[in-house]
Amino acid sequence: MTPTSRSTAPLGAALWVTLVAACAVACLSFGVRAAFGLFTDPLTRELGVSREAYAVAIAIQNLAWGLTQPVAGYLADRFGARWVMLAGAVLYALGVAGLAISTSALQIVLCGGVLVGLGMGGASFTTALAALGRVMPQTHRGWALGLGTAASSLGQFVVVPLTQAAIGVDGWRAGAWLMAAAMALAIPAALLVRDRPAGGLAVGGAGPSPLRLLRTALRDRDYALLVLGFFVCGFQLAFIATHFPAYLADRGIHPALASWAIALIGLFNVAGAYLAGTWSARLGKGRLLAGLYVGRAVAIGLFILAPLSPATVLVFSAAMGLMWLSTVPPTSGLVASFFGTRYMAMLFGFVFLSHQVGSFLGVYLGGHLYARTGSYDTVWWLCIVLSMAAAAVNLPIRERPSQRFMALQG
């Protein structure tokens, strides 16, 4: 899967180690994150808490992740991603372990919400991608970002069915312990990341303040549009990942099929994310993003209008999988195109904050409207409307360096 152009120099051993280690962290962290929706029904029934209460915990998790990500990104830009990812993996594992022993809604919020969310900010696929984007040479960058995103999806395909199997054998607490063990494996992987920019530039050094960098970046029209569009991605993905298993259970679909539906999304996104990374330069990143959002709208519309059956569930999962994280390589690639790679983790982290605000609302509204109406239909239709709006926002984005930001760096 390595690029094979004659003009492309092969990667050295150190870059391969960092690539594999970063992909491992992305794989484990995103795989665990995708499994939280499996607990919506069994956890709430056993503990006697409402789906809305659990949705609030997962919404807070997404918001804590989003708020932490720009800070984690700045620290990774200044000092390197290795220790940021390590600290995040430790917090993440402790949070999931805390969820496994929780007995109340407050404990679920503190462990599965706040602590896991803070851990995600450090040990997430976004931090891993930012590290790869900075360390990889330009000739390999799009390929590496696509591979890192594909690794995240592979984690979803592997971790979700294993977690559901553990839940089926010994209850939701067993599934939570399995997830905590998976995140413990990310700790040694994080230690192997060597985050040094290509060309021998040292991480860190004096420069403009983070707030000044961010203000300057937000004055760039194309970056501002990218931030707005990524909100929709978070809304859709978090809503589906959290509420899709419960939605299917309400309609008589067996939990095992629901878990495989989430896993199938991950499997198909292995191909979708990798292809998005390799095609983004060829098709244009803004146009590719617009096409992906239109595709999501069509897939969701056909799914909710068609009669529900195991076949339609699996077809929908496969279709969404091709577009699930496929927005990430062109989005992160655009950030590098606008501003270079020195502050990529922080600036992509702010874009991801918008994603996580959308995630918060998608998860929360799913639980809130279900509690009020007994249905998820309103949020499904809102996903379609927002998807078309995101397509319109991303279409005019131009891929070019920001002269104002480059001048700020000197």
The pLDDT-based confidence of 306 (bands split at 50, 70, 90) is very high
Indicate whether 215 pLDDT > 50: yes
Indicate whether 1 pLDDT > 50: no
Average pLDDT, rounded, for the chain: 87
Residue whose structure tokens are 């279900």: 370
The contacts found for 98-102 with CB under 8 angstroms, 24 or more apart, are 99/176, 100/173, 100/176, 100/177, 100/180, 101/173, 102/47
Handedness of CA 368, 173, 185, 111 (dihedral sign): positive
Indicate whether 11 pLDDT > 70: no
Please give the Cα distance from 388 to 295 (Å, whole number). Answer: 9
84-99 average pLDDT score: 95
Indicate whether 22 pLDDT > 50: yes
The pLDDT-based confidence of 153 (bands split at 50, 70, 90) is confident
In this predicted structure, what is the pLDDT of residue 200?
40
| Chain segment 162-209, per-residue pLDDT in tens | 999 999 999 999 999 999 999 999 999 999 888 764 344 444 455 677
- Domain at 14-199+208-409, CATH class: mainly alpha
The pLDDT-based confidence of 408 (bands split at 50, 70, 90) is confident
Indicate whether 312 pLDDT > 90: yes
Give 308: exposed, middle or buried? Use CB within 10 Å, 0-12, 13-18, 19+.
middle
Q: Are 135 and 194 in contact (CB under 8 A)?
A: yes
344-357 average pLDDT score: 87
| Chain segment 243-297, per-residue pLDDT in tens | 998 899 888 988 889 888 988 888 898 888 778 877 776 778 999 999 999 999 9
In this predicted structure, what is the pLDDT of residue 197?
44
Helix (H), strand (E) counts: the chain: 18, 0
Per the document, the length of the chain is: 410
343 to each of 4, 245, 370, how far by Cα in Å?
A: 29, 38, 41
